[in-house]
Amino acid sequence: MSHTAVIFGGSGFFGTHLARQLAEDPAVERIVLADMREPRFAHAKVDFVHCDVRGPIDIAVAGEVVIYNFAAVHTTPGHEDWEYYWTNVRGAIEVCRFADRVGTTRLFFTSTMGIYGPQEDRVDEDTPPLPVTAYGKSKLLAEKIHEDWQARDPQRRLVVMRPAVTFGEGERGNFERLAGLLRKGRFVYPVRKDTIKACAPVEEMPRCLAYMASFDEPVIRFIFAYPERTTTEDINKAFHDAAGYRLPGIVVPGWLIYTAAFGFEILGRLGLRTSINRARVRKLVQSTNIYPKELVERQWRFELPLTEALRRWNETNGFR
């Protein structure tokens, strides 16, 4: 059945990639990119609507509507604790109110692996959430709000995706920064090489969402990540194979790297702009050992292994 897709956070990383693929779907008549920022993607099917999900949402739609809620404050560290709750929780409330008003029965929500906290031992969808950051806590609350929306009508369908570090064109995040450091030969391992970093390519995300929704269950929650346990060293080797970057070999002890990070924090307070701080170093050192049990049991297969996904990204725009 033809429908309108409304993507909250449609100008962002996930929203842009989803819109590109939905534009090729003949069942999608119209795509509404609802965001506070101008869109990165233009197409005859696409309409941009300036939207702040922290307040009442007024978007004109007709017919069958499918909603994707990608809107979030997510960079950590980078915001005050209240900002995560104000956007992520209030935004969930307003999106679900909008879904009620327009009669939507299909809603997709992007949560985060942060609901599990940092984990050295493997966790999966059956592991009780234990968030330690305001971002993770706010996203777990947002999951509950979307689940309440679904529970009010048995015909409603909710798909909750908990993504690992997701990389690809337009990411402007961890993998893009890593590529820049490797290109310049400036990357060193903080404390160890075997930190597990669950990850997945953004190109696979739209197809994965559609696949999981095809099971037509009231609520589906799944982790979006490669099933392989991928370490920091594995990721660097993949960059080496995909782009020829020199493999780093230096491992910096914890006392030294945390002291240096503290020094950069002081420089930041003095006006020197820097993204280096102790919180970001801790993120690099701590494992995110999450396992996509639902994807494996439902026989989802990634088409792009890590090295191939990086090679394509590099060929497209040099890890930008």
High-pLDDT (> 90) share of the chain, %: 84
Residues 106 and 150: their CA atoms lie apart, in Å, by 9
Instruction: Identify the pLDDT of residue 52.
Output: 97
Residue 85 tokens, joined? 């709750």
Tell me the one-letter amino acid at 319: F
High-pLDDT (> 70) share of the chain, %: 95
pLDDT tops 80 at residue 261: no
Q: Name, of 72-76, 199-203, 282-286, the range with top average pLDDT.
A: 199-203
Instruction: Identify the pLDDT of residue 278.
Output: 65
Mean pLDDT over 165-182 rounds to: 94
CA torsion sign, 112 to 220 to 104 to 108?
positive
Instruction: Identify the pLDDT of residue 119.
Output: 85
pLDDT tops 70 at residue 275: no
Residues 141 and 134: their CA atoms lie apart, in Å, by 10
CATH T-level fold of 3-171+197-228+289-306: Rossmann fold (3.40.50)
Q: What is the pLDDT of residues 278-310, one digit of tens each?
A: 666 667 778 999 999 999 999 999 999 999 999
Angle at 210 between CA 205 and CA 213, to 5 degrees: 125
Residues 8 and 284: their CA atoms lie apart, in Å, by 29
Instruction: Identify the pLDDT of residue 270.
Output: 77
Q: What is the pLDDT of residues 308-317, one digit of tens each?
A: 999 999 999 9
Q: What is the pLDDT of residues 46-57, one digit of tens each?
A: 999 999 999 999
Instruction: Identify the pLDDT of residue 77.
Output: 66
- The CA R_g of the chain, rounded to the nearest whole Å, is 20
Instruction: Identify the pLDDT of residue 75.
Output: 77
**258 versus 186: which is more confidently predicted?**
186
Q: In what order do the strands lie in the sheet with 106-110?
A: 46-50, 28-35, 3-8, 65-69, 106-110, 157-163, 219-224
Domain ranges of the chain: 3-171+197-228+289-306
Instruction: Identify the pLDDT of residue 307.
Output: 98
pLDDT tops 80 at residue 320: yes
pLDDT tops 80 at residue 95: yes
